[in-house]
Amino acid sequence: MKLFVGLGNLGANYAFNRHNVGFMAVDAIAAAHGFPTWRKRFAGAVAESKLGREQVMLLKPQTFMNESGRSVGEAVRFYKLDLGDVVVFHDELDLAPGKVRVKTGGGVAGHNGLKSLTAHIGNDYVRVRIGIGHPGRKDLVSGYVLHDFAKSDHDWLEKLLGAIAAEAPFLADGANDKFQSRVAHALQAEDEAEAEPPAPRAKPERSRKAPAAGVKAEQPAPAGTLAEKLRRWFGS
């Protein structure tokens, strides 16, 4: 079994903070792959299903970020998991927004969630580092990560969460490099598709029958904000 851990802070006030992108990632995986309803266990919220050939438990610690290791440690000890079977999704200041890198072990770079995990279970777990960028000065970091994603981030964030969710079975199968490359390829393909000029539109034929007086042509519904989409998607 694999344990996929999303790092974040508990509560509606934190739900769309940059620091909560780990929660968003496992929520996206749960939604995309039809995981059952979240339930309380291991001082967290869990959902379990198969991804590819592997049984996967998703875990969102409900202990706040700096105590995440307590929740994860309970699950690791209960299932007697190797640290290579623990995959942690977290925000990464040292990566540009929208970039994803996967590595095993390494430093915690001041991330309180990773610091807590390493203290409770050791250091050799797999990290899915989700780039959120850096505010430029160390004294601005706390306010930056504990602030909602900017509106200008919404487009790339939606695409990124969708790509992470779609390619998650490769992580479950231990193909970490393949997961990383496929996420990057999916995002690049979307960017290229958007950059292509639209195909010329055929001139519509005139309707023989004029619309009834007072009847307006049907207009597409507005797309809605990222927060609205994610709330509908995640059922929250």
Q: One digit per residue, pLDDT tens: the chain, 236 residues? A: 999 999 999 999 999 999 999 999 999 999 999 999 999 999 999 999 999 899 999 999 999 899 999 999 999 999 999 999 999 999 999 999 999 999 999 988 889 999 999 999 999 999 999 999 999 999 999 999 999 999 999 999 999 999 999 999 999 999 999 999 999 999 988 777 777 666 666 655 555 454 444 444 433 334 455 556 565 655 54
Catalytic annotation on 19? yes
Domain count, the chain: 1
Residue 202 lies in a domain: no
Dump the DSSP string for the chain.
-EEEEE----SGGGTTBGGGHHHHHHHHHHHHTT----EEETTEEEEEEEETTEEEEEEEESS-GGGHHHHHHHHHHHHT--GGGEEEEEEETTS-TT-EEEEES---TT-HHHHHHHHHH-S-SEEEEEE----SSGGGHHHHHTSBPPGGGHHHHHHHHHHHHHHHHHHHTT-HHHHHHHHHHHHHHHHHHHHSPPPPPPPPPPPSSPPPTTPPPP-PPP---HHHHHHHHHT-
Predicted structure pTM score: 0.84
Asked whether residue 89 is domain-assigned, the answer is yes
Which of the residues 19, 33, 90, 111 is marked catalytic?
19
Does residue 223 form part of some domain? no
- Structural domain for 66, as ranges: 2-194
| CATH code assigned at 7 | 3.40.50.1470
Q: Domain for residue 206, yes or no?
A: no
Residue 46, domain member (yes or no)? yes
